[in-house]
A and B are shown apart, each in its own frame.
Chain A
């Protein structure tokens, strides 16, 4: 089921009416959901951005699905980065102290090593991921997109009920 959803996301994103930039932006925003622990306040903001901004929702779901396993795999690295920033960098201590004692900010759990480490990595990766995925979408559409569109697999995926839900949030040209 997970694989099917992933395929649906992939096909719908790649063959949507959205521009490569919308698709890439959605995928990059979705990667934040995947890389960082999901149930955090910052992810609510990211999710709201995915919905409100004119980016590919399917791309965001694809990015989320693709980066969840990476998040699990990279947790030790996130932990190390978070520890380094929170505990081993005295220059940043005033910033953390101010944020920790500010209203609402602590609710983001920024002071957790995994949350901070993964969020920093996701933020740093966002721009390169955006450009790389935009280039990839352009290349895909120029080369194999038409052949895939004619395949039986594509037609069956597009015909599924989830596609109708997707259409609600498809990018506006």
Chain B
């Protein structure tokens, strides 16, 4: 039996089904497109994208979006932007290739930084959310920010701590022990040499000779010869005593120099102990970085986030690129684009005209005109960089994302004057700064891996408020900083970022730095003196007990040796004097000859 290949009676139901499907698509196309746009936008931005109403007008190649809200990927309860209406004129043919080419987009009622009721961040590793990590752009930017060294404001809060003083690190006790040993050794040597002189025997021999010469005659040649030998022995003994005196004097001087060296060693030990004190950095740049570093890093992180997003979704070159697939019950996988030379980009926004509303809090928002052009997923195909610009009184914005060449080059500069600046909390201090109306400027240039950025904020009427809650209220640091800054009505902060993206260098300065540094130095100076006295006393307690006996020993040794040598010399002098007088009396002539 031959079986028919086609089920002809099912063709009509199939056509009906197709018609129903088409009808359903027409009915729900707006909703499907809205959900798709929300999903794609949310994935791209890293925060919720919500659209109140979207209308596809395919016959006219037009899409209208009303009530667009894009949550901030950085702040929990803040919108990145809101727009009243967006109208996009599409090129229809690229749609058949699943490509979106927008000839012209007009956006009205754009507002930035508006509040929202729920957390719209989809990436919970935002810089302001602790703990989260991802391999996405937000994760990269978070890790990048963490490598920037922002010093903590570690001020002397009543006490300066010191590490434990190790007696073995002190040089004075070792010097004192060595000097004591040298003194003992010298005493032994001198004692031995004094005994070797045998001055008493020589003097006694001279005295006995004097006695023998009493009643002797000048003709007693033998006796006179003995007397002369004795006199010679006396002179030799005197010479030896003189030599020993010279040696002892030199030795004592060396010991006294050693004793003086102990004083120098003690000074060095004071310095060693002072080096153990943990003193805060009181340089003005450190203070600027500690106070405004986190805020500056936050601004640079945000700027870099958009640069990195641009590089991810607008990469240079024509190689295939994989991006995360659509969200669904099944795995998303990766969707790969295969750009082709002279083809249409997967996404291209040729020109956009934006009507932006900006204004200080409480004042009527002002409307500015801005334009964007050349935003595309394939810059190499489009061949021109993406640009954005806006100019108005007090407001200037310019950006250029040049990903046409292999090395991407991104530059942006923006300044805004006369607008309400966002409040800042000083890190780890219960002090909040409300800059009020002022000027803020940000410039950024990223070429390849090299970054150069600057953020500046200026206000003439700042308001300082003190957070009365929390334990930090009682902190002497908080009190000190509060006393200094609360009297300063102006604020000028400047932060710069240079170097490679892998090893950036952050520098922050402000007008508060010098005032705060001077005050901190004064406070720290008093604390420093107390701490130094404390460590000197500690050194004294470890050193003096060993140095004093050695000094006494050296002093006593000098006196003792001098006294004993003096006594020996006196004996010899007296004996010689007596012997010479006796001999002169006997043989004045002969002695005169000698």
Residues of A within 8 A of B (CB): 19, 21-22, 37, 39, 48, 51-54, 71-72, 75-76, 78-79, 82-83, 86-87, 93, 96-104, 106-107, 109, 111-115, 117, 168-169, 171-173
Contacts and interface: CB of A to CB of B under 8 A. Distances in A.
The winner among A39, A114, A117, A173 for most chain B CB atoms within 10 A is: A114
Interface stretch (B10-18, B140-148, B553-561): B10-18
A51 B13 contact: yes
Contact of A52 (B11, B328, B331): B11
Contacts of A104: 96-97
Contacts of B4: 54, 172
A169 B10 CA distance: 7
Closest 5 pairs (CB-CB, A-B): A114-B333, A106-B98, A113-B333, A100-B338, A75-B331
A96 B10 contact: no
B6 interface: yes
Given A54-B3, A79-B331, A172-B7, A87 B343 contact: no
Interface in B1-44: 1, 3-7, 9-11, 13-14, 17-18
Contacts of A72: 330
B502 interface: no
Interface of B: 1, 3-7, 9-11, 13-14, 17-18, 96-99, 320, 322, 325-326, 328, 330-340, 343-344
B3 A96 contact: no
Contact of A111 (B3, B17, B96, B335): B335
A76 B14 contact: no
A113 B334 CA distance: 5
Given A103-B96, A172-B4, A37 B330 contact: yes
B585 to A, nearest CB: 130
Contacts of A96: 320, 336, 338
Contacts of B9: 172
Nearest to B321: A87
A79 B13 contact: no
B330 A111 contact: no
A168 B13 contact: yes
B7 A106 contact: no
Contacts of B333: 75, 78-79, 82, 112-115, 117
Given A96-B320, A111-B336, A19 B3 contact: yes
Given A97-B340, A114-B333, 9 more contacts: A51-B14, A53-B7, A54-B3, A78-B331, A99-B338, A100-B338, A113-B325, A114-B332, A168-B13
B97 A101 contact: yes
A114 B330 contact: yes
A22 B7 CA distance: 12
Given A19-B3, A113-B325, A51 B10 contact: yes
Nearest to B342: A101
B331 A54 contact: no
B217 to A, nearest CB: 136
B12 to A, nearest CB: 10
B135 to A, nearest CB: 17
Given A72-B330, A101-B343, A113-B336, A52 B14 contact: yes
Given A93-B320, A107-B98, A100 B330 contact: no
A76 B10 CA distance: 37
A48 B334 contact: no
A52 B10 contact: yes
Given A21-B3, A53-B6, A114 B331 contact: yes
B330 A71 contact: yes
Nearest to B4: A54
25 contacts: A19-B3, A37-B328, A37-B330, A52-B6, A54-B7, A71-B330, A72-B330, A78-B331, A82-B334, A83-B322, A87-B320, A93-B320, A100-B337, A100-B340, A101-B97, A111-B337, A112-B325, A112-B326, A113-B322, A113-B334, A114-B330, A115-B333, A172-B3, A172-B9, A173-B1
A36 B326 CA distance: 14
B215 to A, nearest CB: 135
Contacts of A102: 97
A172 B2 CA distance: 11
B7 A51 contact: yes
A27 B99 CA distance: 35
Contacts of B13: 51, 168
The winner among B98, B331, B333, B334 for most chain A CB atoms within 10 A is: B333
Contacts of B99: 106
B99 to A, nearest CB: 8
Contacts of B1: 173
A93 B328 CA distance: 27
B330 A75 contact: yes
B336 to A, nearest CB: 5
Contacts of A53: 5-7
A117 B330 CA distance: 13
A147 B322 CA distance: 55
A116 to B, nearest CB: 9
